[in-house]
Chain A
Amino acid sequence: DAKTTQPNSMESNEEEPVHLPCNHSTISGTDYIHWYRQLPSQGPEYVIHGLTSNVNNRMASLAIAEDRKSSTLILHRATLRDAAVYYCILSSTGSARQLTFGSGTQLTVLP
């Protein structure tokens, strides 16, 4: 299975944009890029996903590199409630084993 690489931790100031990177150099053509986040002692929560084009929703934006070997989750204005572990995940139509999680990035938002 293709894997992802994320920084262990990042910090951001409140009300500033946050760019969370993810490398997936072995991504296949059928792999979707998903992002989830997890608050302490809770189950993960879906954030956004995409295949090739950049995506926007009410929570965030997903910027996907042209070669698809990396992507960036963008939180436009970080709030204290955005402090969480963010997971970048690849999910393929060709694989029954979907949603394989790595260690993620711990985002700290400073007031």
Chain B
Amino acid sequence: DGGITQSPKYLFRKEGQNVTLSCEQNLNHDAMYWYRQDPGQGLRLIYYSQIVNDFQKGDIAEGYSVSREKKESFPLTVTSAQKNPTAFYLCASSIQAKVNTEAFFGQGTRLTVV
């Protein structure tokens, strides 16, 4: 089935370690997004990519990095520079050229840094 897959669902890391969250889609979408969600809050945009080998910072990019070497993959690295990395991370994709189409979200990765 077509969709967007995030892995792992739960991730635990020690403070000071970098960690990479996976996001893969087989929908042939050009645009991909990473969001962060804290308890009781809405989604905040970290990074987005409109096309392969291109990406832009969102509202809270500090302490995060991304790459877009393949159309179907948009991994997010949470670096040690991110001061409060414990959160629920969501990846999404959409057809870039058509705004009036829906975005598809993964099931999220819950990152806990201890």
Residues on A lying within 8 angstroms of B by beta carbon are: 32, 34, 36, 41-46, 49, 51, 85, 87, 91-93, 96-104
Contacts and interface: CB of A to CB of B under 8 A. Distances in A.
B56 to A, nearest CB: 7
A99 B58 CA distance: 11
A46 B27 CA distance: 15
A45 B99 CA distance: 16
Chain B interface mostly helix, strand, loop or mixed?
A: strand
A contact patch SS: loop
Interface of B: 31, 33, 35, 41-45, 48, 50, 56, 58-59, 88, 90, 92, 94, 99-100, 102-108, 110
Contact of B50 (A45, A87, A96): A96
Nearest to B40: A103
Contacts of A87: 42-43
Given A92-B99, A93-B99, A96-B56, A44 B94 contact: no
A96 B45 CA distance: 12
